[in-house]
Amino acid sequence: MDVPFLTQFDHIPQGLTEIAAERLHTILPGPALIHLPGRQERPLFVSVLLHGNETTGLHALQSLLRKYSGQVLPRALSLFIGNVSAAREGVRRLEGQVDYNRVWPGTTHPACPETAMMQAIVDEMARRHVFVSIDVHNNTGINPHYACINRLDHRFFRLASMFGRLVIYFTYPKGTQTSAFARLCPAVTLECGKPGQRYGSEHVFEYLDACLHLTDIADHPVAPQDVDFYHTVVQVTVRDEVSFDFCSRGVDLSLNEDLDHLNFTELSAGTALGMVKDGSSVLPLVARDQSGRDVTADYFEIREDRLVLKRAVMPSMLTLDRRIIRQDCLCYLMERKALKL
């Protein structure tokens, strides 16, 4: 596999197990794919730093590699370290860069060097008969730890429930790592709270270590009482032309300053998320369902200059980081789903 700006290793690069994310560029020229042998040949695939400021995955991997230093891994391990240049600056992605978790096979993004790189990685891991795929992320708002899947399959639920009770099913946005690998093997996205929290990296380390020791994944149902299962129904963004801030005058949309405290809270219809400019009747948000269809009017309305929910939902990934909101989204809205396959 020969892809511009992707470097492959068959060993752990010198210094990788200790280096800070912002210093990775001193030992890696860019995105890196690292293959390590283990007693079981089918590899566990782990991707980290698809967003440069989400460092928990890297810290967990470093702990894992230190634990097995000088030993044979229980299972072969393939590691993808993604946006090294964004990690150097401590940001999700650089201005003008594509989002490294929107350009995997199945994306709607136009062809570019990054889509070619992700396709090549998936092809390589298919050739190696990948066993399980794990993509590690953080969020900027207040969220619990949870696992995401995009296939209703007992093996996927079992893999997700190993991380915790909260399991989220999603099929939008397109072009995510998990959706690409779901065609090859059980795949999960781990959402591990804010970066820099010790509990986050310890939780992921323990999970990865447990996955390395799996011999197979049972294809029988997870008990419904063991899982809190939600379906992501829409992604919510702020319209490009809308100015916004938190509890601020003089902007088109003034969002509540404690908005991220609403994550994973079941909200009733009529809950206010913020205020709009006096007399404005134009909804400042865009809600798109799993097919990408605009369903904003089904979920939001303006009442007496307040932006309110039209139906009961549960939000996730609400953030107070304005840059993240512009680069990605304001939040996702979820609905509780019965665990029936």
Q: What share of the chain is helix, strand, coil (3-state, %, to 5)?
A: 25, 30, 50
Residue 175 corresponds to which amino acid? G
| Spatial CA neighbour of 48 closest among 63, 30, 61 | 61
User: How large is the average pLDDT for residues 121-145?
Assistant: 96
pLDDT at 66: 98
Indicate yes or no: pTM above 0.85: yes
More confident residue, 229 or 5: 229
Q: Is 100 helix (H, G, I), strand (E, B) or coil?
A: coil
pLDDT at 312: 94
pLDDT at 250: 87
pLDDT at 341: 60
* DSSP character string of 70-92: TS-EEEEEEEEE--HHHHHHTSS
pLDDT at 94: 95
Please tell me the distance from the alpha carbon of residue 127 to that of residue 149, in angstroms, as a whole number.
Answer: 23
Q: Over 80: is that where the pLDDT of 1 sits? A: no
Assigned token pair, 301? 């309305």
On the 0-12 / 13-18 / 19+ scale of CB atoms within 10 A, 12 is middle
User: How large is the average pLDDT for residues 253-265?
Assistant: 94
pLDDT per residue as tens digits for the range 212-243: 999 999 999 998 888 999 999 999 999 999 99
User: How large is the average pLDDT for residues 30-37?
Assistant: 98
Please tell me the distance from the alpha carbon of residue 11 to that of residue 291, in angstroms, as a whole number.
Answer: 41
Going along the chain from its start, the domains and CATH numbers come out as: 7-226 (3.40.630.10), 232-336 (no CATH)
| Spatial CA neighbour of 213 closest among 29, 57, 38 | 38
Place of tokens 């995105």: 31
User: How large is the average pLDDT for residues 139-144?
Assistant: 90
User: How large is the average pLDDT for residues 169-192?
Assistant: 96
pLDDT at 337: 84
Backbone angles phi, psi at 271, to 5 degrees: -65, 130
Residue 52 corresponds to which amino acid? G
Backbone angles phi, psi at 239, to 5 degrees: -55, 140
Distance of CA 51 to the CA centre of its chain: 9
Q: Over 70: is that where the pLDDT of 3 sits? A: no
pLDDT per residue as tens digits for the range 291-336: 889 999 999 999 999 999 999 999 999 999 999 999 999 999 999 8
More confident residue, 1 or 292: 292
Mean pLDDT computed over every residue of the chain = 95
Integer-rounded Cα radius of gyration of the chain: 20
Backbone angles phi, psi at 168, to 5 degrees: -115, 130
User: How large is the average pLDDT for residues 103-126?
Assistant: 96
pLDDT at 4: 55
pLDDT per residue as tens digits for the range 39-69: 999 999 999 999 999 999 999 999 999 999 9
pLDDT at 338: 78
User: How large is the average pLDDT for residues 273-283?
Assistant: 89
Confidence label for 167 from pLDDT (cuts 50, 70 and 90): very high
Query: Percent of the chain, pLDDT > 70?
Result: 98
User: How large is the average pLDDT for residues 248-274?
Assistant: 94
The lowest-confidence range among 3-7, 43-47, 65-69, 275-279 is 3-7
